[in-house]
A and B are shown apart, each in its own frame.
Chain A
Amino acid sequence: MDMSYLHHFGSAAATIFVVATATMRTMIPLRVFGIMANVLLIAISIPTHNYPTMALHAVLLPLNIYRLRQMLQLVQDVKKSVNSDLSMEWLKPFMTKRPCKAGEVLFYKDEKAEDMFYIVSGRYRLVESGIELPVGAIVGELGMLSPLNERTQTLECIEPGMVLSVSYSQVEELYVQNPEFGFFFLRLASARLFENIDKLEARLMKQDAPALPMAPQHA
């Protein structure tokens, strides 16, 4: 077979895939088209002995596969979280480590909220309410969706430890890149909000409970 035909045909097909990749608006289709373009270009570059192209796409292919897998895993984890314990552990791979010293303040009340935190180790206290947050707690996940975007309390580190942080803009990027993730993220945030309301209602009922026997009986 004439190699020049293969070369021209392959280049035309690869061009279509490269253009299609660039037109994708969201991350998963973009990666899928990226992978298809990589495979096609590797397949064509072998018989035509175009080794630089082959090397480039041999590097890009695993990268695209890794990122696609990461995105699909993210959607799966968020879905799972919505249907089970409402945990936000799935965010961990996207977070960066931040060591905290005793006395360090992670954020102040009324400050513009820009990050959410996952407590890995150490002790942390909400200054205004005096509540201590346990290891494994997520802080500031609702601030991203609140209209004013402001912190409602101050978080202080009282024993050195480590937190993981992710900026709201990073989560927003994930949201925009992946609409399915965005949908489940909204469901998860709403579910956590409703859970907070339920907890508050339960606490209020507990507070009111001793007063109930004193309440006048209705006929």
Chain B
Amino acid sequence: MAGFINVIRSTLAELANRSEPAAPVLPVGLPAAVRPVAEDGVALLINYQSAVYAQLYSDRLRRFVGRRNVSDELFSEIARLLTMRMSYHDPIRIAQLKLQEPVMPGRPPVVDRRRFRLDELVSALPEIVGDPLMWALERIYCAHRTVPIRFSKASIWGIKRLEFESWLRRWRLLSTRYETERVWVERWLHMIDRALTKQPDAAMAIVQTATMIEGYGTGYRQGMAAWHQIIDGLAKPAFDGTLVITDLADAITRARAVPRDPKGDQLRKAIGELRAHAVLN
């Protein structure tokens, strides 16, 4: 019921145009070197979702203003990668980008054909719709089946479809995918925060782990799984003090260099070896 009410509220707020406040405000004290990156991030996220969402980005950046051990370079990297992760690629985003693509005169528009897993498509819908659909797909063993989707501006029908898919962004923040991404971003920021407190030398390596997660589909899922393996196996125990790793940044770099496999066995083995060289408390 709460999910249903949220959908109604969100839609009514959108119709009443109440959800758009004034332009997002960047945090006071943001270093001048970081400002251009943050401004780009805000502009992109307004386009991606809304001004409220861009304000959330700005609020997340505020956590690092005036923090010890945060250089301009590190802060800029956090701002850049935070923008990237907060504008994750889902079918809605791909439709948005396609709509914004310029059409060259005299050349036919490029048609994108992308394959999505059904569970990926369903996870972009509001929980109230997505959860029962996901349950049904799992019952008939179809959740992992891939379907091709065309993103095209070649016909009026294609443009209208893209506009509809793009319109679905109003419900994006109620989706299961958004919840996964929100939790991931918070965990990443938390790990940066802990690195700054416990092992500042490893902060940049932690920040850059965000590049492990990109796009959608198999690459996205494997990247996400590998990221959690590295954080759970190396970074978190090091910050908790249960594992003493003298050069955490190097350990993370080595773990990241391991080729990815579907079950993550190679990475698990590599992390095991790295842990064997560390001191267990």
Interface residues of A (CB under 8 A from B): 103, 105, 107-112, 127, 154, 167, 170
Question: A110: which B residues are within 8 A, CB to CB?
Answer: 60, 63, 189, 193
Q: Count B interface residues, CB 8 Å.
A: 12
Q: What's the Cα separation between A192 and B199 when bound, in Å?
A: 36
List 14 contacting pairs A-B, 8 Å CB cutoff, sorted by A: A103-B232, A105-B187, A105-B190, A107-B186, A108-B186, A108-B187, A108-B190, A109-B190, A110-B63, A110-B193, A112-B59, A127-B194, A154-B190, A170-B2
Inter-chain CA distance A44–B177, complex, in Å, is 53
Distance in angstroms between the alpha carbons of A107 and B187 in the assembled complex: 9
Report the bound CA distance from A103 to B186 in whole Å: 15
Inter-chain CA distance A108–B186, complex, in Å, is 7
Contacts of B59 in A (CB 8 A): 112
Q: What is the chain B residue whose CB lies nearest that of A107?
A: B186
Residues in A whose Cβ lies below 8 Å from that of B189: 108, 110
B182 to A, closest residue via Cβ: A111
- Nearest CB on B from A17, distance (A): 27
Residues of chain B within 8 A (CB-CB) of A170 are 2
With beta carbons under 8 angstroms apart, the residue of B2, B56, B193, B232 that contacts A109 is B193
Q: Which residue of A lies closest to B240 (CB)?
A: A127
Of residues A103, A107, A108, which shows the largest number of chain B Cβ atoms within 10 Å of its Cβ?
Answer: A108
Closest 5 CB pairs of A and B: A108-B186, A108-B190, A110-B63, A111-B186, A154-B190
Chain B residues closer than 8 Å to A154, beta-carbon distance: 190
Contact with A along B29-47 (1 / 0, CB 8 A): 0000000000000000000
**18 further A-B pairs in the complex, CB-CB below 8 A; given A111-B186, A112-B56:** A105-B187, A105-B190, A107-B186, A108-B186, A108-B187, A108-B189, A108-B190, A109-B190, A109-B193, A110-B60, A110-B63, A110-B189, A110-B193, A112-B59, A127-B194, A154-B190, A167-B2, A170-B2
Within 8 Å CB of B232, what residues of A?
A: 103
Residues of B within 8 A of A127 (CB): 194
CA distance A110 to B76 in the complex (A): 19
A109 CB to closest chain B CB (Å) equals 7
Distance in angstroms from B196 CB to nearest chain A CB is: 12
Contact with A along B244-257 (1 / 0, CB 8 A): 00000000000000
A66 to chain B minimum Cβ distance, whole angstroms, is 16
B residues 54-86 touching A (CB-CB < 8 Å): 56, 59-60, 63
Report B-chain residues with C-beta under 8 Å of the C-beta of A167.
2
Q: In the complex, what residues of B have CB within 8 A of residue A108's CB?
A: 186-187, 189-190
The 0/1 profile, CB within 8 Å of A marked 1, for residues 216-244 of chain B is 00000000000000001000000000000
Q: B187-217: contact bitstring with A at CB < 8 Å (1 yes, 0 no)? A: 1011001100000000000000000000000
0/1 per residue, B1-41, Cβ < 8 Å to A?
01000000000000000000000000000000000000000
Q: How far is the CA of A203 from the CA of B186 in the complex (A)?
A: 32
B130: min CB distance to chain A, Å: 19
Q: Complex: how many Å from CA A112 to CA B190?
A: 13
- Cα A112 to Cα B59 in complex, Å, equals 9
Give chain B residues whose Cβ lies under 8 Å from the Cβ of A109. 190, 193
Chain A contacts for B194, CB-based, 8 A: 127
A170 to B193, alpha carbons, bound, how many Å?
A: 31
What's the nearest-Cβ distance from chain B to residue A60, in Å? 18
| A108 to B185 CA separation, bound complex (whole angstroms) | 10
For the complex, give the distance between the alpha carbons of A62 and B61 in Å. 51
Nearest CB in chain A: distance from B200 CB, A = 16
Name which residue of chain A comes closest to B190, CB basis: A108
Specify which chain B residues have a CB less than 8 angstroms from the CB of A105 in the assembled complex: 187, 190
Cα of A110 to Cα of B189 in the assembled complex, Å: 9
Residues of B near A112 (CB, < 8 A) are 56, 59
A112 to B62, alpha carbons, bound, how many Å?
Answer: 12
Q: Give the Cβ gap from A167 to chain B, nearest Cβ, in Å.
A: 8
Across-interface contacts of B187 in A (CB, < 8 A): 105, 108
- Distance in angstroms between the alpha carbons of A110 and B67 in the assembled complex: 13
Nearest chain A residue, comparing its CB with the CB of B236? A103
Residues of chain A lying within 8 A (CB to CB) of residue B2: 167, 170
How far is B183's CA from A112's CA once the two chains are assembled, in angstroms? 12
CA A107 – CA B190 in complex, angstroms?
10
B273 to chain A, nearest CB (A): 22
List B residues 138-162 near A (Cβ within 8 Å): none
Q: How far is the CA of A103 from the CA of B240 in the complex (A)?
A: 12
Contact residues in A for B63 (Cβ distance below 8 Å):
110
With the chains together, A103 CA to B187 CA distance in Å?
A: 12
Rounded to whole Å, the gap between the CB of A129 and the closest CB of chain B is 12
